[in-house]
Amino acid sequence: MKIVVLDGYTLNPGDNPWTEVEKLGDTTVYDRTPADKILERAKDAEVVLTNKTPLTRETFDKLPQLKFVGVLATGYNVVDTDAARAKGIPVSNVPIYGTDSVAEYVFALVTNHFRRPVYHAELVRKGGWQKSGEFSFWETPLAELSGKTIGIVGFGRIGRRVGEIAAAFKMNVLAYDVYHGNPPSYAFEWAEIDALAAKSDVVTLHCNQTPENTGMVNKALISRMKPTALFVNTARGGLVNEADLAEALNAGKIAAAAIDVVSTEPIRDDNPLLGAPNAMITPHIAWAAKEARIRLMQTTAENIRAYQSGSPINVVNAAK
């Protein structure tokens, strides 16, 4: 069986070998694949693994050997799953691997905003503490998380883990989701999204991007947020109208934004958030802790083994 990995670099930049996948077939790994090379590289493959390299209906029409697609992520919008289903090709993702990685990263962003350790460490390096003459020196307001309210938009695995950590910090937890499911063990309240935005000191996104919610964080929703609020996005860049968010930051309508994802990645030079004040932008790394990437690799191998056995798992395009 021939396995082709179209864009393997982010999963394994050198510290997370493909050994378990390589045991399952003749494996070729490309760090990156431009659109005009997809057909050439995948033409003889029975299994194709992709992270962000798109697989369209036209691509499926031209790959008659292809029998299985593994997505090296949870999100699978880069694959035309309907076209794959029409050809009898199961598409499997990795639904559980980054829960702790992303949730922990959210609180790295949140605690950095409220306590400002990085900012003050840099001040010390520049001589600010020495010049102050004070035994305890700070330049920005410092605040506790205890008693503050966090609003979590998308209350699935990651959102609930964020809520669990927030509860440990003694924060009040509000949650919005289309699907409620069983409540978690810690105290929280369901809220409609407008009320959540209005009541929260931190608003954090943990939902999938769909046609219905694309651009949902827009001028109208932001206008409901507190002027002291922190907005966090580690989910999908397309959930945010970036021009509206930049305008709000420029006008001081919210205090700050901590953003790990943007609408086009890598970020474009003309993204309005690059010039906005109090916008911390990191390069899509919330998911990327080594432990999470190892889990992702292990589950990818399990997905291929399940396909080989005739009973694929984690299939996202099963017959409706």
Tens of pLDDT along 51-78? Answer: 999 999 999 999 999 999 999 999 898 9
Is residue 112 domain-shared with residue 170, that is, in the same domain? yes
Is residue 122 domain-shared with residue 239, that is, in the same domain? yes
CATH number at residue 277: 3.40.50.720
Is residue 113 domain-shared with residue 92, that is, in the same domain? no
Is 284 catalytic? The answer is yes
Question: In this structure, is residue 210 part of a structural domain?
Answer: yes
Residue range 295-302: average pLDDT? 98
* pLDDT at position 77: 87
Residue range 154-177: average pLDDT? 98
Residue range 43-51: average pLDDT? 97
- Mean residue pLDDT across the chain: 97
Is 265 catalytic? The answer is yes
Angle, helix 157-168 to helix 99-115, in steps of 10 degrees = 40
Is residue 55 domain-shared with residue 6, that is, in the same domain? yes
Question: In this structure, is residue 319 part of a structural domain?
Answer: no
Question: In this structure, is residue 54 part of a structural domain?
Answer: yes
Q: Are 135 and 280 in contact (CB under 8 A)?
A: no
Is residue 93 domain-shared with residue 111, that is, in the same domain? no
Q: Looking at 33-90, which runs of residues are DSSP E strands?
A: 47-50, 68-71
Q: How many CA atoms are closer than 13 Å to the CA of 76, on its beta-carbon side?
A: 21
pLDDT tens, residue by residue, 186-197: 999 999 999 999
Question: In this structure, is residue 40 part of a structural domain?
Answer: yes
Question: In this structure, is residue 271 part of a structural domain?
Answer: yes
* pLDDT at position 75: 87
Pick the catalytic residue: 85, 113, 284, 295?
Answer: 284
Kindly tell me the number of DSSP H helices and DSSP E strands found in the chain: 12, 12
* pLDDT at position 158: 96
Is residue 143 domain-shared with residue 73, that is, in the same domain? no
Which phi and psi (to 5°) does residue 259 adopt? -130, 125
Pick the catalytic residue: 116, 160, 236, 295?
Answer: 236
Which phi and psi (to 5°) does residue 176 adopt? -125, 135
* pLDDT at position 110: 98
Angle, helix 99-115 to helix 117-125, in steps of 10 degrees = 60
Percentage of the chain modeled with pLDDT above 90 = 97
Is residue 103 domain-shared with residue 82, that is, in the same domain? no
Question: In this structure, is residue 317 part of a structural domain?
Answer: no
Is residue 92 domain-shared with residue 140, that is, in the same domain? no
Is residue 273 domain-shared with residue 296, that is, in the same domain? no
Pick the catalytic residue: 139, 265, 268, 291?
Answer: 265
Question: In this structure, is residue 9 part of a structural domain?
Answer: yes
pTM across the whole model:
0.93
Is residue 166 domain-shared with residue 65, that is, in the same domain? no
Question: In this structure, is residue 320 part of a structural domain?
Answer: no
Q: What is the pLDDT confidence band of residue 220, given thresholds at 50, 70 and 90?
A: very high
| Count of structural domains within the chain | 2
H/E element holding 114? helix 99-115
Task: Give yes or no for residue 320 having a pLDDT over 90.
Answer: no
pLDDT tens, residue by residue, 75-102: 898 999 999 999 999 999 999 999 999 9
Q: Show the domain range for 50.
A: 2-97+290-308
Is residue 229 domain-shared with residue 116, that is, in the same domain? yes
Is residue 37 domain-shared with residue 114, that is, in the same domain? no
Is 189 catalytic? The answer is no
Amino acid at 269: D
